[in-house]
Amino acid sequence: DGGITQSPKYLFRKEGQNVTLSCEQNLNHDAMYWYRQDPGQGLRLIYYSQIVNDFQKGDIAEGYSVSREKKESFPLTVTSAQKNPTAFYLCASSIGDREETQYFGPGTRLLVL
């Protein structure tokens, strides 16, 4: 089955800790995205990547980092600099043409201990 997988489903972070959220896709999509969703809010773009080894900041990149070493994978690290990390994190992908539809993974819910 083709699709987008995210792991873990739930993640707990301690103060001062960096954590990494995984996103993998087997759709052969070139573009991948990370969004953050807070309760009652729309999705906000953190980072996106159009091709391997290249990525751009979105609207709320501070306190986050990404890498794109493989086409299939786009992990997101939530650093200790992100002071309010509790949110629902969604990874998405699209074919790569700028106006193509984005499809979402199941999400990771990050909670702070």
Partner 1 sequence: QKEVEQNSGPLSVPEGAIASLNCTYSDRGSQSFFWYRQYSGKSPELIMFIYSNGDKEDGRFTAQLNKASQYVSLLIRDSQPSDSATYLCAVQRAGSYQLTFGKGTKLSVIP
> What is the SS3 assignment for 2?
coil
Q: Of the two residues 5 and 18, which places its CB atom closer to partner 1 in the complex?
A: 5
Contact between 101 and partner 1 per CB under 8 A: yes
Q: Is 105 in the site for partner 1 (CB under 8 A)?
A: yes
Whether the CA torsion 36, 37, 42, 43 is positive or negative: it is: positive
Which residue in the set 52, 95, 107, 112 belongs to the binding site for partner 1 (CB under 8 A)? 107
Tokens of 14: 């301690």
Tell the smallest beta-carbon distance from residue 55 to partner 1 (Å).
11
**103 touches partner 1 (CB under 8 A):** yes
C-beta of 104: minimal distance to partner 1 in Å?
4
Q: Which residues in the chain belong to E strands, given as ranges?
A: 4-7, 10-13, 19-25, 31-37, 43-51, 54-57, 64-66, 76-78, 87-94, 103-104, 108-112
Binding mask 38-57 for partner 1 (x = CB under 8 A): --xxxxxx--x-x-----x-
Question: If DSSP codes are grouped into helix, strand and coil, which group holds residue 80?
Answer: coil
> Which residues in the 55-74 window bind partner 1 by CB under 8 A?
56, 58
